[in-house]
Chains A and B, each alone.
Chain A
Amino acid sequence: MKGKAIHELAVGDSASTAKTISESDVYMYAGITGDFNPAHVDEQYATGTRFGERIAHGMLSAGLISAVIGTQLPGPGTIYMGQDLKFTAPVHIGDTITATIIVKEVDVERNRAVLKTVCLNQNGKKVIDGVARVMVPN
């Protein structure tokens, strides 16, 4: 499967994916990356933090952004060049996160695009805000 070519992208195009972040997602992420920060894997500790319970790793939600870019918009073949990523609220186990990509700028000459990247929880609260820079090969 091939993604969109640079000339097929228009400012305002958007795509999204949603996923409920389960306890097993958090432990799988911890197992793959070795990130066993107690805020993510120790409920006893987490109840004493300002979050009140275990929270998901920020990069797990950022991974959903990566998945939308790599599978939908622009899609397969897109190269992730960089990003400004802001973690604006915690993600709790059981939250449903919707990652949305909106095309902001298209540079056909240089095969580059700038995408707005936002993750919202089930209450519409923004948990990640940012902008990604990608290269879209022909």
Chain B
Amino acid sequence: MSEPFYIPYERISVGDKAELSVTLSEAQVDEFSALIGDTDSFHVTDAAAEQTVFGKRICHGVHLLAYVSVLVGQKLPGFGTIYCDHTFAFHNPVYLGQGIRVTVTVLEKLPHRRLRMDTTITREDGAPVLTGQTVVKTYR
């Protein structure tokens, strides 16, 4: 078996960037709700969603964050990355079936193979969804 993809710490530079695009279906949002035990919220039922400012069901914020984790674990730095912390703010909702683009950019190389990275999620119509920073530890 070939070694999985990762970029070693010494080959990573400030400014390095990676991105991925994903669209969350209704089925994924329903499955995620069941998984975390969210049985009664505006993510799950149309009736509850209609009473919110959003008007329609939206994806869980924490579900969107999962794709930041996917991106750092698969592309930059890649395999074996350990997620240490993440500070973030949400700006706009993501409706079911709406595409998002997730971007991470290396801001700073820290001691002990750690990296501080900028994290953004943008909706396909250009609206900002999430801004934040994460610290991850690279595999090698």
Where the two chains meet, the residues of A that have a C-beta atom closer than 8 Å to any C-beta of B are: 1, 17, 19, 25, 28-29, 31-35, 37-39, 49, 57-60, 62-67, 70-71, 76-77, 79-87, 133, 137
Contact with A along B82-113 (1 / 0, CB 8 A): 01111111100000000000000000000000
Pairwise interchain contact B35-A84, C-beta atoms closer than 8 A: no
Pairwise interchain contact B62-A63, C-beta atoms closer than 8 A: yes
Q: Which residues of chain B are near A32, meaning CB under 8 Å? A: 28, 31-32, 35, 63, 66
Known interface pairs A38-B4, A76-B42. Does A66 touch B85 (Cβ–Cβ under 8 Å)? Answer: no
**A66–B43 alpha-carbon span in the complex (Å):** 11
Known interface pairs A17-B37, A35-B69. Does A63 touch B42 (Cβ–Cβ under 8 Å)? Answer: no
Q: A35-B73, A87-B84 are in contact. List 4 more A-B contacts (CB 8 A).
A: A33-B69, A76-B40, A80-B62, A80-B90
Interface centre among A29, A67, A70 (most CB of B within 10 A): A70
Pairwise interchain contact B38-A71, C-beta atoms closer than 8 A: yes
What is the distance, in angstroms, from B3's C-beta to the closest C-beta of chain A? 11
**A91–B85 alpha-carbon span in the complex (Å):** 15
Q: Report if B60 contacts A (CB, 8 A).
A: yes
19 example contacts (A-B, Cβ-Cβ < 8 A) are as follows: A19-B37, A28-B35, A32-B31, A33-B67, A33-B69, A35-B66, A35-B73, A38-B4, A63-B63, A64-B37, A70-B41, A76-B42, A77-B41, A80-B62, A82-B88, A82-B132, A83-B88, A84-B85, A85-B86
Known interface pairs A87-B83, A137-B52. Does A81 touch B89 (Cβ–Cβ under 8 Å)? Answer: yes
Specify the chain B residue showing the minimal Cβ separation from A40: B73
Specify the chain A residue showing the minimal Cβ separation from B4: A38
What is the distance, in angstroms, from A65's C-beta to the closest C-beta of chain B? 8
Q: Report if B127 contacts A (CB, 8 A).
A: no
Interface size on B, residues (CB 8 A): 41
**A67–B36 alpha-carbon span in the complex (Å):** 6
Specify the chain A residue showing the minimal Cβ separation from B32: A32
Q: Which residues of chain A are near B87, meaning CB under 8 Å? A: 82-85
The 5 closest A-B pairs by CB, nearest first: A63-B36, A82-B89, A33-B66, A70-B41, A66-B62
Q: Which residues of chain A are near B128, meaning CB under 8 Å? A: none
Q: Report if B48 contacts A (CB, 8 A).
A: yes
Pairwise interchain contact B90-A34, C-beta atoms closer than 8 A: no
Known interface pairs A37-B73, A63-B60, A64-B37. Does A58 touch B83 (Cβ–Cβ under 8 Å)? Answer: yes
